[in-house]
């Protein structure tokens, strides 16, 4: 287990059980924020990659699909 993960668990052990729900909410918030950010990166790269996608060679390579 990584040192940071161990530290998180130790900190969690020091919290009162009534705060566990808040910790869980925060973890879920972080995960949702990460999922939301991923498509933005993909969309940002589209104009750059489009130059290659629109080449005749690419059209020919994918024409049988």
Domain residue limits at 26? 3-62
Distance CA 31, CA 44 (A): 21
pLDDT in tens, 6-57: 999 999 999 999 999 999 999 999 999 888 766 666 666 777 777 777 788 8
pLDDT of residue 24: 95
Domain count, the chain: 1
63 confidence band (pLDDT: 50, 70, 90): confident
Kindly state the tokens that stand for 15. Answer: 């919290």
The DSSP call for residue 16 is: -
pLDDT of residue 34: 85
Say yes or no to pLDDT of 5 above 90: yes
């Amino acid at each position: 287990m990584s040192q940071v993960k161990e530290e998180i668990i130790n900190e969690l052990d020091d919290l009162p059980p009534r705060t566990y729900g808040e910790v869980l909410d925060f973890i879920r918030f972080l995960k949702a924020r990460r999922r939301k950010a991923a498509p933005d990166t993909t969309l940002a790269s589209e104009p750059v990659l489009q130059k290659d996608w629109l080449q005749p060679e690419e059209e020919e390579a994918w024409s049988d699909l």
